[in-house]
Structure 1
Amino acid sequence: MKNRFAFQPRYFLFWLVFFVVTKATFLLYHAAKVSALPAGSVARIFGYGLRLDASATAYLCILPFLAFAVGSALPERFFPHRLLGFYSAVVGVIVGAFTVADLELYRAWGFRLDATPLQYINSPGEMAASAGSAPLLLLTGILAALLGLGWWLYRKIVGPIPALPPYFGRGRAVLAGVLYLALLVVPLRGGVQQIPINQSDVYFSTVPFANHAALNVPWNVGTALLLTDGGPNPYQFMPDSVAARTVRQLYAPATARPDTTRLLRTTRPNVLFIILESFTGKFVASTGGEAGVTPNLDSVARTGVLFNNIYAAGDRSQKGLVALLSGYPSQPTTSIIKYPRKTELLPHLCRSLEQAGYRSHYYYGGELAFANMKSYLVAGGYDQFTERADFPRSQQNSKWGAHDHVLFDRILGDLKSQPAPFFVTAFTLSSHEPFEIPIPRKFKGTDETALFRNSVYYTDWALGRFLRMARRQPWWDNTLVVLVADHGHTLPGNDPNESPNKFRIPLVLTGGALRPEVRGRVISQVGSQTDIAATLLRQLGLPASAYTWSHDLLQPLRQPFAFYCFSDGFGLVTRGGTVSYDNVPRRIITQDSTVTREQLRQGQAYEQASYGEFLAK
């Protein structure tokens, strides 16, 4: 018979074992990545991860241990047996759900589950659509297996709580329960060291996947939820004055004389700003990607102005939106779009153009509430919005909303009566998971890469169809069209989360407003999404001083660069190569042989200064 006072240690052991099981599940699900790890990594994943597992276990034990201690002071009939069982069942379901969600999210996003999905909590349909290509049947089976195994482990390790021995007084029982409760402090903080445990304590490898696998998902989620946007700045690499000076030097122009290149033949053209969902440069031949996937965009690039060395600022749509329309950098573990009080302080292309007499309209085939986009766009000052609810269901796919060609048809119809000059922004969606398209597939295959390739081909088809009809409209001759991606993608090739290939995107200018002599021009200078705002405003002869993180791509820098963020890390691209850095263990992930130590310091300064400004807003 199990001893009454072994309940608390047994309960602790149960959760610790269960977390080890979830870690094994993660490794099995990502077996292909595990097979590429250096020898001995798997054992070290479990060994290093055990400290975070124990910390998460201790947090889950606080309430049961407290209830046990209080219940020991009460008559046996009032002891909270059912409450402890109910609590364990509910927490088990939550932990199991977190574990299973993390399996697929890690494959798609490249980082373990944290508070990021909460950015989509007000649009669960779109959040579910993001997982549309996930093997739901398999994941459901894994969840059922985890819950079944958890129930079996609970019965074997914990079991029913024996009654208090008649010779053992309630006072002594309470004291024993409180003692076990107090002992939780040690695993809670990960040991007796001065600084409590954090993620960096389980990072042991130069391979990011090995470090990620050692993390405990519930601990990771809980820590992310406790983080605030009020500081202090976690990216403090140097004195703030040094970081600010280093960033100013990054933006130093190559010559004292400004570039007077004029791309436009009119000072107040209409601006049609088209944001292409997930249009990675790896699928665009004009930026060095696969041939034949985006023939229309490539054709436009040959007759317009192509920027073929541009990098996205972040890896999610909401980050790309802010980078494109406000020229503002991304944040490593959050997005400023989550904080309306902060985004209201950002400059915005729509407001800048409104002051010059432009009327505006924002088009999106999905729901604008997704990822808090609408609050940002409303603050930006758009006159009108068209979104999913404005399209009949017959014109929508099953997940996201209106197909891209339907969106473009609506824009064509509306522009017949749109007052000029106009600033129209359109955001496509068909090339987002689950990659559903309304035309026959061009490329063979049913794997995720093939589905993604076909969805990009469809959006390009819809774009080409739209541009051919637009050229026949009376507004075309006085219109500048900006074609750019919101972010890149790990596919094709399953690039690591930090890879610059994942962030490289196309940027093409076209339209009747371009001067004939600049058509066919290719600009290969390294640049960022954040630079588009200043480039556009300078071409329109409008002030861009409010866009302090944006640089005119036609005004060469002394050292052209692009800074990008991924989950708690950054990359900096220059002519000298790329360096990527992991903020958790504070070490370089990858570095080209030609990259200097100074480039790493520049990236650190940029991250510190930009995040410091984010905190201060």
Structure 2
Amino acid sequence: MKRALLLRLTIAYAVVWVLRVVFYLYNSDLLGALTWGEIPDLLRGTLIFDAANLAYTFGLFVLLSLVPFPFRYSKVYQKILYWYFVLGVVALLFFNLSDTIYFHYARKRGTIDEFSYADNDNTAWVMIKAALENWYLLLLGVAILMGAGYLYKKIKIVKPAKPRYLVNSLVFGLSVFLLITAMRGGIGRQIRPITLGNAAQFATTPLKASLVLSNPFCIFRTIGNSKIRYTKYYDATTLDSLYSPIHHHKSQTLNHKNIVIFILESFSHEHSQYLNPQLYPTQSYMPFLDSLMQHSYVFDNAYANGRKSIDALPSILASIPSFKTPFALTPQALAPMEGLGTILNKQGYESWFFNGSQERSMGFVAFAKSAGFNNIRTMESYEAARGSGDYDGYWGIWDEPFLNFMAHELSTAKQPFVAATFTLSSHHPFVVPEKYRDVLPKGKTKVHQPVAYTDLAMRRFFDYAKTEPWYENTVFVMVADHVSSETFSQQARTDKGNSHIIQFIYTPDGTLAPMHDTVTTQQIDLMPTLLALIGYDKPYFAFGRNAFRQRDRGFAVNYTGTQFQWITDSVSYYFDETTTGTARADSAVKAFIQRYYEQMERGEFLP
């Protein structure tokens, strides 16, 4: 029975692959030619996503086939399994052939969102018309279904002489584990269940990421993603006058400075003695960064646009915030966009992304590639170069050795370059390497000692970087991904304080004079601010603002879990999608939220 099941699943796998080839041939004019260099990553991605796809579609079929009881060999039971398999193949054919046609117009794979359009009066006619226009795909689907059914019946089941309850029960239990693993896209605490956005990790363009995907996976993984619903408070003209994400900088001279962005795990504003001397009169838990801030442009009132690490990358690297749903987990994460890497690649920059976790951890690499970061270094890269002795046992490579690895890699980069890294050691379970446990201060909360360790890692990075020729021509950005779960002050436990983060820019050559800027800023302001700093003069899309334009009123926006929070220099407003209770704040909040969801609905983030 086990051999028969594997052969049957092989038939289903072959169907998925035939449909992928058909998808590519039908849409090759949009997807573009495939190069030999792209194929290995695409194949690796399809193995992961096809395993998930088949687990979702045929998971119950697998379990029913392996129930450890003799009745599974009866003719009636085998007939039930046959029709289950046929229905599974029908689902593969229907959704993927529909996708083949739909993609040509929508530039995306079908998801649960498409079902929201099924109540339109003309839906049935549109589907019939599409089938008639593509009759050959319909015939191909019938042929594949008949072929799959024919091959299925050729696989014979032989009932063993004696029941093997123990072995069959073990195989059944193992199959449950393997199905869960396939649905998640891997095992390990670092790996989140894969979503559509993870496909970008294996493709050179968002469109080609659709080759990695297939259905019904895309539908299953977007169940719960309700249709984008929002109130249109303003007509198009009024909305444009209130808020626009299209930026037009005046003509300037591009100065080709390198950019290095440190996304610091859980670096709350309250961790800093420099910013909060009243909290720490005698002890700094981040002495290096505190000292660096004294020579930097510091955004004292900076706020995170999200609550989780996965919210931070789109905000920082593409100026796209996350609200009710992390942007990186939405189908729109594969929409056309120009992140910081994409924009600077066109200006002759090399782009690098570093993360000490596994390649598929948290979807970081996938989104970084979507934002245009081409050279990727992860835990796998580190261990290939330096061995596996620096794994922290939880999340990835300790910050100190990984940042050292990053510094050496940047020294091989061609200037100008833009690089981003995500630190990881200042995170639950709040541990540091053994050699530092009695050296670094324990602190007021569990996170203070790991913060001190990451601060030490940053000091060591800069000690090396200062000796390199690229250092003086580099803009260094320090920004937290979100506030730590461990809080010390009462202020940090308020809604506003719970998004108050560290954010500052350091330029060794003095391009930016030291400044303690108290105007409200947010993570999505970083990309426009950096593009202004290097003199970029072309139109681009960003929800944030250039923080150096002091005449623009600063603000920050995030979602508390129940309502939107709109933070200004003087006060915070809370918006329940009807009113803030303040007319002056209403127009700003409503315009921003309406524009955000219009772009999400449009599925495009381009100027």
The normalised TM-score by structure 2 is 0.57
Runs (4+) of structure 1 moved beyond 6 Å?
249-253, 257-260, 494-498
**Aligned partners of 2:238, 2:359: CA distance in 1, in Å?**
36
Structure 1: unaligned runs, 5 residues or longer:
1-117, 130-222, 589-594
The corresponding residue for 1:277 is 265
Do residues 437 (structure 1) and 429 (structure 2) align?
no
The corresponding residue for 2:196 is none
Change in CA separation of 1:383 and 1:587 when aligned onto 2, cut-off 3 Å: closer
The corresponding residue for 2:530 is 536
Matched ranges for 1:95-110 at <5 A: none
Matched ranges for 1:198-217 at <5 A: none
* Secondary structure of the structure 2 residue equivalent to 1:610: helix
Q: Which amino acid aligns with 2:297?
A: V
The corresponding residue for 2:351 is 360
**Aligned partners of 1:573, 1:251: CA distance in 2, in Å?**
22
Do residues 500 (structure 1) and 496 (structure 2) align?
yes
**Aligned partners of 1:540, 1:267: CA distance in 2, in Å?**
5
The corresponding residue for 2:224 is 227
Q: Deviations over 1:165-206 (max 9, x none)?
A: xxxxxxxxxxxxxxxxxxxxxxxxxxxxxxxxxxxxxxxxxx
8 Å contact from structure 1 (residues 326, 533) kept in 2: yes
**Aligned partners of 2:493, 2:598: CA distance in 1, in Å?**
24
The Cα shift of 1:511 comes to: 3.5
The Cα shift of 1:123 comes to: 6.0
The corresponding residue for 1:608 is 594
Do residues 575 (structure 1) and 561 (structure 2) align?
no
Change in CA separation of 1:536 and 1:616 when aligned onto 2, cut-off 3 Å: same
**Aligned partners of 2:472, 2:537: CA distance in 1, in Å?**
24
With 267-276 and 483-492 compared, the bigger mean Cα shift is at 483-492
Change in CA separation of 1:367 and 1:411 when aligned onto 2, cut-off 3 Å: same
8 Å contact from structure 1 (residues 122, 371) kept in 2: no
Change in CA separation of 1:474 and 1:306 when aligned onto 2, cut-off 3 Å: same
The corresponding residue for 1:377 is 368
* Secondary structure of the structure 2 residue equivalent to 1:361: strand
Change in CA separation of 1:569 and 1:605 when aligned onto 2, cut-off 3 Å: same
Change in CA separation of 1:560 and 1:473 when aligned onto 2, cut-off 3 Å: same
Matched ranges for 1:480-491 at <5 A: 480-491=475-486
The corresponding residue for 2:286 is 294
The Cα shift of 1:238 comes to: 2.7
The corresponding residue for 1:461 is 456
8 Å contact from structure 1 (residues 533, 547) kept in 2: no
The Cα shift of 1:229 comes to: 5.2
The number of residues matched between the two structures is 384
The Cα shift of 1:314 comes to: 0.7
* Secondary structure of the structure 2 residue equivalent to 1:330: coil
The Cα shift of 1:336 comes to: 2.0
Q: Deviations over 1:144-163 (max 9, x none)?
A: xxxxxxxxxxxxxxxxxxxx
The corresponding residue for 2:445 is 450
The Cα shift of 1:398 comes to: 0.9
Do residues 397 (structure 1) and 460 (structure 2) align?
no
Q: Which amino acid aligns with 1:499?
A: D
Change in CA separation of 1:331 and 1:243 when aligned onto 2, cut-off 3 Å: farther
The corresponding residue for 1:421 is 416
* Secondary structure of the structure 1 residue equivalent to 2:294: helix
* Secondary structure of the structure 1 residue equivalent to 2:305: coil
Do residues 599 (structure 1) and 599 (structure 2) align?
no
**Aligned partners of 2:463, 2:361: CA distance in 1, in Å?**
31
Q: Which amino acid aligns with 1:613?
A: Q
**Aligned partners of 1:527, 1:353: CA distance in 2, in Å?**
23
Matched ranges for 1:301-316 at <5 A: 301-316=293-308
8 Å contact from structure 2 (residues 265, 426) kept in 1: yes
Do residues 524 (structure 1) and 518 (structure 2) align?
yes
Change in CA separation of 1:507 and 1:544 when aligned onto 2, cut-off 3 Å: farther
The Cα shift of 1:246 comes to: 7.1
Q: Which amino acid aligns with 2:504?
A: V
The Cα shift of 1:450 comes to: 2.4
**Aligned partners of 2:244, 2:539: CA distance in 1, in Å?**
17
**Aligned partners of 1:252, 1:412: CA distance in 2, in Å?**
33
8 Å contact from structure 1 (residues 365, 388) kept in 2: yes
Structure 2: unaligned runs, 5 residues or longer:
1-180, 193-219
Q: Deviations over 1:27-74 (max 9, x none)?
A: xxxxxxxxxxxxxxxxxxxxxxxxxxxxxxxxxxxxxxxxxxxxxxxx
* Secondary structure of the structure 2 residue equivalent to 1:450: coil
The Cα shift of 1:576 comes to: 2.8
8 Å contact from structure 2 (residues 407, 465) kept in 1: yes
The corresponding residue for 1:547 is 541
* Aligned partner (choices 468, 477, 483) of residue 473 of structure 1: 468
8 Å contact from structure 2 (residues 478, 505) kept in 1: yes
The corresponding residue for 2:403 is 408
Q: Deviations over 1:293-320 (max 9, x none)?
A: 2111111110122111111111111211
Matched ranges for 1:172-191 at <5 A: none
* Aligned partner (choices 320, 334, 341) of residue 328 of structure 1: 320
**Aligned partners of 2:492, 2:464: CA distance in 1, in Å?**
39
Change in CA separation of 1:495 and 1:338 when aligned onto 2, cut-off 3 Å: farther
Matched ranges for 1:131-210 at <5 A: none
